[in-house]
A and B are shown apart, each in its own frame.
Chain A
């Protein structure tokens, strides 16, 4: 009876209707103005740079797995990359996976929010959508190149997303291209903000060039790279200036909030210390006397009479507020080398030589005039010296060229071809049974 009486008491009391939280914004109020929609895009960029701890690790991990860096530290996770003996519970693999998919979710949520938005200026709407599509494509580019078949998540509904299994990499590739083509159409050549820190059409074209290059679609790669190279905004900078804030060689860079870009990762804490990641002797085999890049982009510690060079492309190891160095994602030098290779493959050896020499001259090197295999070898050498410790490009080179076995098996005792794909993180497979099967070899 008492219970009954209690139940009859009015329950619709306003006491429980608490105000919306002070520190959060209800979704309905987000995509309502130009300003807050832009803030969402800022949030996505911030998410990418926040994850740069992980994305920076991407560079280290792939360089250790390749023939570029030697690991002298004591961490098991890094050692696994260096020894190409990855384990599916490796924390860095999990972190990278999570970082990419977190950004992809933010992109998907923003795309849905923008699609429903009615009060955002049309130009801005196109601009924002283009940026989001490009970032999503950028994330998928790495996911599929590192793991192979990965779940292609293109909406924000977790009920659907949590069950998506491994999508064939060809479909992922198609989705990347579709996103990039749409973004290319939506974006303009002008940057939406200062310092080339947000995406314009050229960034999309640079990524397109990289995607086509990796796929061996030489004509498309050359065309995309040409779009960038022909834009007078982009100039091959001297090595000294290549990674500075105002570099005109930069196509896209991420500006960290109050943190150094990447320098503390590589620069050892003490001059008398063996650097945790030091440059492998094989990389220096490709060094030519007089190359300003190895002079400017390498630091050296002497320990016990032995020199240990380490990557020194980024030099601001502490502070960086206001930022004087940002994390460069695309540089025009890479576009020259992509086009050089594409042209060589398309039998335009003169064009290829012109591109290679453009890169060499600004590094203080002389004219190169080889043809055929020698030209391709020179391009590969230039890529190695030009792009080391940047965004896993050496790893992609080894995979694409099919030289991984030849290069790595003498260096890594346990090396096997299956090491070219990373294992899907254990926890992901446990939480989504559709992610079976695991990549070979794990």
Chain B
């Protein structure tokens, strides 16, 4: 209160900014303000008290746990700083306040980049601590004395100090910040800086993206942002990337974050349909987005950042902002690169000799006589043959080519950027024509009216893609026996050897699968400055996404026998997703005093999305040549679906900033979704975030310590999750194909009209510190997300007629974790610099509550107190020296739980520049357990199936002590192997440290070649997934499964020219 009074006193010394504060408004404003002041501690405290009481109870309960200790330390730290603060108060009040002889200084603040006025910049008198804010024209007025120094600051700009030196008018031009703390950070419905942000936002910029030769922008995020897990589902171009922000909140599904591109929500899941799914699996919607068109990707993590997205914020939000043009001369940027890729890591498989030995020994062990029927590989095939199926199937070199051309420029009022790109990426399968291709065009136009009142921004991105990778991932085929022939002397596929026939896995190359994608993402954002601090905005967007795909299975796929049969078949699918969004907003910025600023925002969202899917499976063609059309097919099986989703909401945010020192942020949203039944459509969400920049305190500013920036922040709020299908609340009948000409009807889901929103409560506390003029930035965040009222497709025993039902479960899932970030610039000289970023995430997932779990259908899958990602395993007891079989502890049963959530993960990046050279190196690390490669094999060693050579160390005779069971063709050994696959021995360390990215570049500037003036010429080489250190037994520890193509090791070379 003392402080309030003191600051209140100082108000009388101010000369109010007349443009913003009409005199008639002043009393009410002051009243409102003191109300705010009164409220501030109250509105903060209850929330804080809640947090702390929660935290304390839990800390007590687990006083011995490290987390409790850490929390205790944080609270202690917090209290200590508060004490320091309190002690500092008297000192502060002793500062004499000079009242006499003040003069009024005025001036204009402009941006050095484009000369435009900066609205809302803070001007502080360094001596009196009085503040003023620039108005719509960038003008300010402040009281000062002739010898005072004015400090100018604004988000995204370098702070600037200017001595008055007796002048009455001080105009300044501010430079864009290169300080990480002051870079603009995109947040929901606006921007802020890392310095002033109350929420938790991770950021990756175009510079980082450009260093990685990836086709999918999400892959460029791997390891870069704490709390963000990125997993490539397989190494094929176009494949889906699994993204998880701060762990798994939902028990079964709906863990995908929300994606927003230039203000327009974008598909989070693929439109690929099962009838035409290719080897890459579902085509990622982000495969359509050209990474080079992206300016920045922001990852919103905590309640403060995400609650304004209400029902869709529970799993975090990823904001993608495309590049914009800059005023100035028109520049042309051309970037070309090309590269090659190989599989990162595979297991060595048996050669012919080892394989034959295995097979013969297996039959001996089983006491089974090999016959032409059960052992054609031993008795009929040519056993001197060796076919390296691994090399044949996935041992080729993938080729990559990427071309980017961008044109940008513009005038003061209007800027544009127009970019086009083409990318083609093949894979390691045989055949050069199997590729993922993408052509993309992106146009951004920004306009600002001469009076600066009207602004309009348009962004339109269009891309077309073609992915014709085959239908099956050939990695599963590398286990074909090495004695099984591939091609005959004339180069034709072989289907039999010496009277014994087999399926030639190369046939998958004949089964064509082509997906054509088209995407349009358009956004129009108009804002108008009404005056009085009010701005009216409208954000509108329209997206269309389409995948039309076909799968063609010719007779050849079935081998020579199909020549006179009619087995050729095709499948065609078409998926169309359209959506529009309209978000009118009104924002209000006001300076209640020179120190107190409020920014308020209210808005509404209307959104509709329509998905139409259809597929036709065609067979019985009169002629194989017609397989590409449905016309020649006598038999057609259709399926179609239509989904309409509507979403309506109202949202608001109030941001209070006191002298860039105390920041308070309230957000609220009321959301309605058509995915719920009448009466359950609406729900309320909201959050409060607060930050205290204690280095702004005067007691701190007077100290000349190493610490240059210090912020404590915290947030608490509720978000939701409506990530379920449409119409699930209706009791409906779907249609079947006809039976005797009558199209059938069938109940297509179990009916439940009573499900409601899943709610996610997020709590976060963080400390951000900057040392040595912010050259070392450290940040520690602790979070706890609790997801309750779990809404899911709950698995049921199929005796109910379905395998699941949509319903809420009274379960509570908790994710807690620590995130650490360290950004340092050890060396910063004009010709040499070294910077590094390090991040580390430790997280724990836990099922806190699940009433009735023991009686429920999930009894065997989850356990209260354990993470969701657990596997229930047999306790492995070794290979029985007598029988040679894997054994498990049958008495304890399948009761050992292993946690397969990553224990911790992170990345470490270094960037070095020396004159024109730039080198950066990025290392990613993950600590985790996964099922090993042996346990993902389809068959146990001994079958007509090749296996990794490491099993040669097997049991051979009674008394042998081995870790690998005997070779066998079936019987007890098959059962023992099945148990082994679900035993503690099958789950082993899959941690890895990966040299994820190396980028080397040399840049020449100011070159002139003839009449051509090159602004810049950059030559570079990049490598992705170059080296992996791991003890994992299997292929790649990221993809795990031995039947899935591992990520590729890519090396590229490129040149970038800017004219």
Contacts and interface: CB of A to CB of B under 8 A. Distances in A.
Interface string A413-431: 1100000000000011111
Interface string A50-83: 1000000000000000000010101010011001
Among B651, B737, B797, the most chain A Cβ lie within 10 Å of the Cβ of B797
Nearest to B648: A15
Interface string B272-297: 00000000000000000000000000
Among B654, B737, B739, the most chain A Cβ lie within 10 Å of the Cβ of B739
A435 to B, nearest CB: 7
Interface stretch (B399-407, B558-566, B572-580, B839-847): B558-566
A288 B372 CA distance: 28
B646 A18 contact: yes
Given A11-B672, A13-B648, A42 B798 contact: no
Contact of B374 (A72, A106, A198): A72
Interface string B625-655: 0000000001111001111111110111110
A162 B606 CA distance: 39
A3 B646 contact: no
Nearest to A153: B799
Interface stretch (A21-29, A179-187, A207-215, A359-367): A21-29
Contact of A21 (B682, B730, B742): B730
Given A40-B744, A258-B636, A431-B797, A21 B857 contact: no
A281 interface: no
Contacts of B857: 162, 430-432
Contacts of B635: 258-259, 319-321
A26 B730 CA distance: 7
Contact of B673 (A16, A101, A304, A428): A16
A106 B747 contact: yes
B800 A21 contact: no
Contact of B501 (A3, A89, A274): A274
Contact of B566 (A98, A306, A318): A318
Nearest to B643: A21
B732 A6 contact: no
B684 interface: yes
The interface size bin for chain A is 35 or more
A433 B738 contact: no
Contacts of A15: 606, 646, 648, 672
B417 to A, nearest CB: 35
B372 A101 contact: no
Contacts of B861: 430
Interface in B1001-1023: none
A167 to B, nearest CB: 11
B495 A105 contact: no
Given A13-B648, A74-B944, A304 B372 contact: yes
A249 interface: no
Contacts of B642: 21-23
Interface in B726-754: 726-727, 730-740, 742-748, 750-751
A161 B561 contact: no
A23 B740 contact: no
A399 interface: no
Contact of A303 (B372, B558, B799, B800): B372
B109 to A, nearest CB: 30
Contact of B801 (A6, A27, A106): A106
Given A70-B373, A85-B974, A258 B744 contact: no
A115 interface: no
A169 B498 CA distance: 51
B802 to A, nearest CB: 7
B728 to A, nearest CB: 11
B745 A270 contact: no
B780 interface: no
B848 interface: no
Contacts of B744: 39-47
A9 B670 contact: yes
Nearest to B498: A304
B206 interface: no
Given A269-B562, A274-B500, A27 B747 contact: yes
Contacts of B634: 258, 319, 321
Contact of A105 (B501, B619, B800): B800
B782 interface: no
Interface stretch (A189-197, A342-350, A385-393): A189-197
A105 B734 contact: no
A127 interface: no
Nearest to A70: B373
Nearest to A104: B801
B262 to A, nearest CB: 24
A85 B971 CA distance: 7
Contacts of B645: 18
Contact of A25 (B367, B672, B733, B972): B733
A432 B944 CA distance: 37
Contacts of B739: 42-43, 45-46, 49, 197, 255, 257
A120 interface: no
Given A6-B652, A102-B801, A257-B739, A270 B496 contact: yes
B40 interface: no
A95 B646 CA distance: 37
Contact of B684 (A5, A7, A318): A7
A274 B373 CA distance: 7
B746 A158 contact: no
Contacts of B854: 433
Contacts of A16: 646-648, 672-674, 681
B561 A273 contact: yes
A20 B642 CA distance: 11
A318 B855 contact: no
A162 B799 contact: yes
A227 interface: no
Contacts of B640: 23
Interface in A316-342: 317-321
A6 B747 contact: no
A105 B748 CA distance: 11
Contact of B499 (A25, A28, A272, A428): A272
A151 interface: yes
Contacts of B731: 26-28
Nearest to A18: B674
A30 B745 contact: yes
A433 B797 CA distance: 10
A331 B670 CA distance: 64
A432 B637 contact: no
B801 A319 contact: no
Given A40-B744, A255-B739, A158 B501 contact: no
Interface of A: 2-3, 5-7, 9, 11, 13, 15-28, 30, 36, 38-47, 49-50, 70, 72, 74, 76, 79-80, 83, 85, 87, 89, 97-98, 101-102, 104-106, 108-109, 151, 153, 156, 158, 161-164, 193-195, 197-198, 255, 257-259, 268-274, 303-304, 306, 317-321, 413-414, 427-433, 435
25 contacts: A2-B602, A3-B684, A7-B684, A11-B672, A21-B644, A21-B727, A22-B642, A28-B731, A39-B743, A40-B744, A42-B740, A43-B733, A49-B739, A80-B974, A108-B801, A158-B750, A158-B796, A161-B799, A197-B739, A255-B740, A273-B501, A274-B500, A319-B566, A428-B799, A430-B857
Closest 9 A/B residue pairs (Cβ): A105-B801, A43-B744, A270-B561, A258-B635, A3-B668, A432-B797, A431-B857, A42-B744, A43-B746
Given A43-B744, A47-B746, 16 more contacts: A2-B654, A3-B652, A7-B670, A11-B681, A15-B672, A21-B642, A21-B730, A43-B733, A45-B739, A46-B739, A47-B744, A105-B800, A106-B746, A161-B800, A304-B498, A433-B854
Interface of B: 367, 372-374, 380, 495-496, 498-501, 558-562, 565-567, 600, 602, 606, 619-620, 634-637, 640-648, 650-654, 666, 668-670, 672-674, 678, 681-682, 684, 686, 726-727, 730-740, 742-748, 750-751, 795-803, 805, 854-855, 857-861, 938-939, 943-945, 970-972, 974-975, 978
